[in-house]
Amino acid sequence: MSSRVTERINFGKIKEIIAPPNLIELQTNSYVDFLQAEVPASKRKNLGLQAVFTEVFPIERRRQVCARLSLLRDRRAEN
């Protein structure tokens, strides 16, 4: 492998009007909103991971044996 760094050449004719957004910061903020880890469980909005938990639990099976799987405690805020 070559260790040469290739120089980028811009052939575009349109000048940059605004600076591009910081995509890493945007992704990080989106992930924080998805987890809601810093928000107490009682105050979380029904978005992101909380919405998934709300939709999925409780899981019930009522054929031969009655069974129910519930989410008792969410440990995201416990660090």
pLDDT tens series, the chain, 79 aa:
556 777 777 777 877 788 888 999 999 999 999 999 998 888 999 999 999 988 988 887 777 667 777 877 777 766 5
Handedness of CA 17, 21, 22, 23 (dihedral sign): negative
Using only C-alpha atoms, what is the Rg of the chain? 23
Q: Residue 68 in 3-state DSSP?
A: strand
How far apart CA 28 and CA 34 sit, in angstroms, is 10
Kindly list the domain boundaries of the chain, sorted by start residue.
Answer: 23-69
Q: What is the pTM of this model?
A: 0.58
Cα 48 to its chain centre, rounded Å, is 7
**The amino acid at 43:** K
Nearest alpha-carbon partner for 44 in 79, 70, 69, 74: 74
